[in-house]
Chain A
Amino acid sequence: MDTVKNTKNIPGDQQLGVLYNDGKVRRRREWRGFKDTMYDFGQWLHLWKIMLGVSLSKGFFKGLFRYRWMINYLAVPHMIDKFTIGQRDETLRITHTAIGYVVKDVAVTIKRCLRGDTRCGNDKAFSDKCVLVDENAMVSYLMGFPGLTVVQREVPPMFSANLINQNSAVHYIDVAQTYGIPGDVCPMPETEAGISIDDDFVVMGKCAVQVNTTCDGSMLGNSIIAKRLEKEYGIPAYQMASPLRHRNEDVQDYAAEEIKGAIRFIEEQTGEKWDWKAYFECAHRVNMTTRARLEWLDINSTPYPQFFGAVFSLYNDTNYLGNCGRSTEFPLIDQKIMQLVHKGYERRTMMGQEYRHRCMVWGVQPQYVIDMLYWMVLCWGVVPLTDMLSMVIEREIAETDTPENREQAYYDMAYLSENMIMRNHTHGGYETMVNELWEYCERMNADMVMMWEHMSCKSLVAMHGQFEEQARERGIHLVWVSHDLCDPRVYSRSAIRGQFSQYMRAVMQEEPLDPTIEELPDDLAW
C-alpha cells in the first residue's frame, strides 16, 4: 500500500520513549502541546471525580478491605495514559470520550456490586432487583426488564481489573491451579473460577443467568461459580445455551427457545414481567449503536481511519454486552464520537507520523492489558483498522412493536447473543474464523494481519496452519503474536512487542518511526 504521511505539525513530545522507565508508572506525563495537554489534564481531573464518587458509595471501605481486586482501581489513570499515548486532536478526544464512558460504566458496576453485597453495603431491597450475568454475556434477554438491574459481577474483579493492572489475575490463576485446574486452559475463565474458589466475588442478586459464551473453558468454569452461588448463597443460576454453529438456519429455533427459557426464569425468580415497550426501545438503541459502529468502520476503510485501537474494541464491548440498548446515555456518546470522527476525517487527522500498512487485528486479544495497537502505529506506522472483537452485529433488529415482531424479537435476541463479542468468530465453523477474515481484509483495504495467537484459545490455535496457508495464497502479511491473555508470566509485554518488531525488521525490512519506543521498559508497570 502507499504510505500516507501526516502533513500536520505534531506538537509536544516526539520521542515517546523518554516517558518510560522501569517503574510502575511513567517518568512524567506526555506533553501534547498546550491545548491538548490541557484537554488531557481536564479529562484526568474528571477521572478522579468519577473515582471519588465511587469511594463515597455505600459499602466502599468495607469492600476495599474485603476484596483484594479493589486496590487495582487506584491505577485507573495509568490505564488511560496507556490508551492515549501519542494522541492529539480528534483522536485524543475520541479516545477520551469513549474510554471515559467505559470507566463510568465500570464505576457504576462497582458501586452496584458493593451496594448489594451482603458483606459490604448489604442493601437487600436493591439486591433483590439485581440479576447477575456473565462478564461476557450479551444481555439481550434483559432488554424487556426495565425494573431490574443487570450486574456483571465478574467485570470488577476480573475484566476491568486486568485492563488496569496486568498482574491483577495472577493470584486467582494460582488459586485455580492449586485447586487442580490445569495451566493450559484459557486464563480468563480460569481467573473467574479462581475468584469463586477464593470466595472473592461479591455476594448479591436475586438470581443469575450464565451463558455458554465464549468457549468450552468459560462454559465449564461457570459450573464452579454456579455451584457456590446455589449451594452456599442460595442464589439460583440458569444456564442459557447459545448454539455454536450460529450461522445455520436450523439452530435458530433452539436459540430462540433458550431466550424464552431465560426470560421465564427471570420472571419466576424476580416477580418482574417482561415489558415489550421497554424491549423495543432498547432494540431501537441497539440499532443506533450498530449503525454508528458500521459508519466508523466505513471511515476506517479509508486512508484516514479515526476511531480504532484498544478503546474502539473496549467501547464496543461495553456498549453491546452489559448495556445492549438498556442505557439511554450510550446513543448520546455514540453521537458525540460520531461528530469527532467526521471532523477528524474531514481534517485528515492521523494518529502518528505516517501510515505504512493497513492492518486487520485478528484473534483473541490481550490488547487491553498492553498499549500494543497504539504502539504499532507510533513505532511502525501500522494502523490497526479494526479487530476481531469489534466485528460483531452486522444487521439491525426489529424495533417496532407489532405481533409479528414480538415473535421475531426472540430470534433477534438470540441473534445478538449468538453474535456476542468474540464468540461470533470463534464459533460458527471455519467460515467465521478464517474465511471472514479475508473478506474483512478486502473490505477494509488491509494488506497485513496481526494475528493474536492466544496460546490457550483452542478454537483459534487449531486454525494456525490454515491461516498460514491461506494468507500466503492471498499475499497478505501475517504477523503472529503469541500471548497468554491475562497471564503476563507466560508472555511479557516486551516479549509480545518483540514478536511484532522482529517481523517488521526481518520480513518487512523496515525501520521504526520512533526507535525510542521499539523496546519499552514497562514489564513491571501496571
Chain B
Amino acid sequence: MRDLKHFLFFEELVCSSNNDLVRKAKEQGRVCAAFVCENTPEPLFNLKGCFGVRLTAPNTGSTDIANYYMTSLLCETSRALLERAIEGGYNFADCIIAPDGCTMMNRCIENMELARAVESGSDAFFYEHMEIPMKTDENGVALLVRQCRNHILTPLNRTYGIDISDEAMREAVRSHNEVCDLIRQIGEFRKADKPAITGYEFSVIVLATYVCPKDLLVEPLRETLEELKTREPDEKGYRARLLVVGAEMDDPEFIRLIEECGAYVCADRYCFGSFPGREPIELTEGEDVLTQICRHYTYQCQCPRQMNMDKVYARKAYVDALAKEYGADGILYNQIKFCDPWAYERVTGAATLREEYGYPVLSVDRPYNIHSSAGQMRTRVQAFVESIEVKKLREAR
C-alpha cells in the first residue's frame, strides 16, 4: 500500500515521550500531567491549559539501574519506566499521577518519587497516588469520584490554577470523544477482507493518541481518515486474522512482528489499544460530569484487577464479541513477563476462549521491547498462524 501521508509523523511521535507535540504544547505554556495505567480518567488531564501524557519508554535497552531498585523480578514495563525516569526522560512533566492499579506500577512511581528521579526544574512538581475501584459497581464509581477530585483535580487546580469546573470537564470530554470517534472510524477499516490499514499502522496511530496532547493530533487524524477512504489495499492477503489481547503494550513492533508472520491484527484489546481505551464517553445533562466520567471508566474497564466474578466472565465475553465483530480467526493473549494480574488473566482467558468459545488461542509472555526476544516470539506466532491455516483447510474439506 502507498504510505499514509502522516504515518512517519505518527511513528516519530511514539518514539519518544518528549516528542514534538509535547514540546510544542509545553512551549504554549500548558501544564503536562504525566500518568500511567488505563484506569486513570484521561479527560481530566486534558482540561484547558493542561495536557496528559501516558508514560512509555520506547526503545528501552538495559534496565540496570531499575534492576538495582526493583530487582530483575518485576515486570519490565515498570522497570523500563523507572529507568527512563532516572535517565531524565520525563523531566518535561509537571506532575505524575498514578493509580494504585497493579502493585508493580505503583512501586515504579513510588521509586521515582523516593529517588527524586524526575527533575522538572520546578518546585511545583508533584506526585499523586490514587486508589481505583476493584469492582464494577456504584461504590466503585463513588470511590473514583473522590479519588479524582482529591488526587487529580484539586492538585491541578491548587498548583497550576487549572479550571476544574463542570464546563471545563465537559469540554475536555468533547475533545476526548472527537479523538475517540476518529480512531474508531479508522479502526473500522480493519473489518474489511482487504483492509486499507495494517494492524501495525493502526497501533502506532492509537499509541500516538495516548502520548501526545490530543488536540494537536485531531487534524492529522482527520486527514488520515480521509486518506484511508481512497487508499488501495494490498492485493497480497494475510493468512489469519488475529485479535490481540493483553495488558500494557506500548510497543507497535510487537504488532509488526505478528504481521510479518503473515497474520493480520484486526482488533486490539490491550491497555494502549483502542478497546476499551478509545470508546467515547457519553455524557447526559442530569448528572455531574465527573461522576459520569468515573462511571464510564469503572464500567468499561477490562483490567483483571476488577475482581467481581460477573466482570471476570464479562471480560471473556467482551473478547468474544470483539473477535466476532472484527472477524478474528484466532486470539493472541499476551502478558508482559513478571506481570501478576495478567499471569492469571492470560491463562484463564486463554482457557475460556479456547474451551468455552472455541477459538484457537495463543498464550504468550513477552518482553517490554520485543526486539530483545524477537526470534522466540516469531517462531511461536508462525506456528500459531500455521495451525489456524491447517484448521481452515480441514474445515474446508
Which positions in A face B, CB cutoff 8 Å?
A: 179-182, 184-186, 193, 210, 212, 215-217, 219-224, 226-227, 230, 237, 239, 241, 243-245, 248, 250-251, 253-254, 257-258, 261, 426-427, 429-430, 434, 455-456, 458-459, 461-466
27 contacts between A and B (CB under 8 A): A193-B344, A216-B305, A217-B340, A217-B343, A219-B305, A219-B307, A222-B307, A223-B344, A226-B312, A239-B135, A243-B131, A248-B131, A251-B143, A253-B142, A253-B146, A254-B140, A254-B146, A426-B103, A427-B100, A429-B129, A430-B107, A456-B73, A459-B103, A461-B71, A462-B103, A462-B104, A465-B69
What residues of chain B lie closer than 8 Å to A464, measured between beta carbons? 68-71
What residues of chain A lie closer than 8 Å to B139, measured between beta carbons? 254, 257-258, 261
CA A455 – CA B337 in complex, angstroms?
14
Given contacts A217-B340, A221-B344, contact A429 B103 (CB under 8 A): no
Of the listed stretches B55-63, B193-201, B346-354, name the one at the interface; the rest are far from the partner chain. Answer: B346-354
Flag if B131 contacts A458 (CB, 8 Å).
no
Of A180, A216, A250, the residue contacting B350 (CB under 8 A) is A180
Flag if A458 contacts B338 (CB, 8 Å).
yes
CB distance from A321 to the nearest CB of B (A): 19
Flag if A227 contacts B71 (CB, 8 Å).
no
What residues of chain A lie closer than 8 Å to B341, measured between beta carbons? 216, 219-220
B379 close to A (CB within 8 Å): no
CB distance from A184 to the nearest CB of B (A): 5
Nearest A-chain residue to B103, judged by Cβ: A459
CA A251 – CA B140 in complex, angstroms?
10
Flag if A185 contacts B343 (CB, 8 Å).
yes
What residues of chain A lie closer than 8 Å to B103, measured between beta carbons? 215-216, 426-427, 458-459, 462
What residues of chain A lie closer than 8 Å to B74, measured between beta carbons? 458, 461-462
Given contacts A253-B142, A461-B70, A462-B70, contact A245 B135 (CB under 8 A): no
B46 close to A (CB within 8 Å): no
Flag if B131 contacts A244 (CB, 8 Å).
yes
Given contacts A245-B131, A458-B107, A462-B74, contact A215 B344 (CB under 8 A): no
Flag if B107 contacts A459 (CB, 8 Å).
yes
Given contacts A237-B309, A458-B74, A465-B68, contact A250 B340 (CB under 8 A): no
Flag if B114 contacts A226 (CB, 8 Å).
no
Closest 9 CB pairs of A and B: A465-B69, A462-B107, A220-B344, A241-B134, A216-B340, A254-B143, A180-B347, A461-B71, A244-B100
Flag if B147 contacts A250 (CB, 8 Å).
yes
Flag if B344 contacts A224 (CB, 8 Å).
yes
Interface of A is mostly: helix
Nearest A-chain residue to B143, judged by Cβ: A254
Of A181, A185, A465, the residue contacting B111 (CB under 8 A) is A465
Flag if A223 contacts B307 (CB, 8 Å).
yes
Given contacts A180-B351, A241-B133, contact A223 B309 (CB under 8 A): yes
Flag if B142 contacts A254 (CB, 8 Å).
yes
What residues of chain A lie closer than 8 Å to B68, measured between beta carbons? 464-465
CA A459 – CA B75 in complex, angstroms?
11
B110 close to A (CB within 8 Å): yes
What residues of chain B lie closer than 8 Å to A241, measured between beta carbons? 133-135, 140, 307
Number of interface residues of B (CB under 8 A): 53
Interface of B is mostly: helix
Of A223, A239, A244, A251, the residue contacting B348 (CB under 8 A) is A223
CA A241 – CA B306 in complex, angstroms?
9
Q: A243-B131, A458-B74 are in contact. List 8 more A-B contacts (CB 8 A).
A: A216-B341, A219-B307, A220-B340, A253-B143, A458-B104, A462-B74, A462-B104, A466-B69
Given contacts A257-B139, A459-B107, contact A184 B338 (CB under 8 A): yes
Nearest B-chain residue to A426, judged by Cβ: B103
B188 close to A (CB within 8 Å): no
What residues of chain B lie closer than 8 Å to A261, measured between beta carbons? 139
CA A461 – CA B114 in complex, angstroms?
15
Flag if A245 contacts B100 (CB, 8 Å).
yes
CB distance from A164 to the nearest CB of B (A): 27
Nearest B-chain residue to A249, judged by Cβ: B150
What residues of chain B lie closer than 8 Å to A461, measured between beta carbons? 70-71, 73-74
CB distance from A10 to the nearest CB of B (A): 41
Flag if A250 contacts B343 (CB, 8 Å).
no
What residues of chain B lie closer than 8 Å to A215, measured between beta carbons? 103, 340
What residues of chain B lie closer than 8 Å to A258, measured between beta carbons? 139
Of A217, A243, A456, A458, the residue contacting B344 (CB under 8 A) is A217
CA A336 – CA B308 in complex, angstroms?
42
CB distance from A463 to the nearest CB of B (A): 7
What residues of chain A lie closer than 8 Å to B129, measured between beta carbons? 245, 429
CA A243 – CA B129 in complex, angstroms?
13
What residues of chain A lie closer than 8 Å to B69, measured between beta carbons? 462, 464-466
Contact string against A for B residues 136-174, beta-carbon threshold 8 Å, 1 for contact and 0 otherwise: 000110110011001000000000000000000000000
What residues of chain A lie closer than 8 Å to B374, measured between beta carbons? none
Given contacts A184-B73, A239-B309, A465-B69, contact A220 B104 (CB under 8 A): no
CB distance from B79 to the nearest CB of A (A): 9
Nearest A-chain residue to B335, judged by Cβ: A182
CB distance from A462 to the nearest CB of B (A): 3
Given contacts A180-B351, A216-B103, A245-B131, contact A250 B307 (CB under 8 A): no
CB distance from B45 to the nearest CB of A (A): 20
What residues of chain A lie closer than 8 Å to B71, measured between beta carbons? 455, 461-462, 464
CB distance from B369 to the nearest CB of A (A): 19
CA A193 – CA B347 in complex, angstroms?
12
Flag if A181 contacts B344 (CB, 8 Å).
yes
CB distance from A435 to the nearest CB of B (A): 10
Which of A182, A226, A430 counts the most chain B CB atoms within 10 A?
A182
CB distance from A343 to the nearest CB of B (A): 43
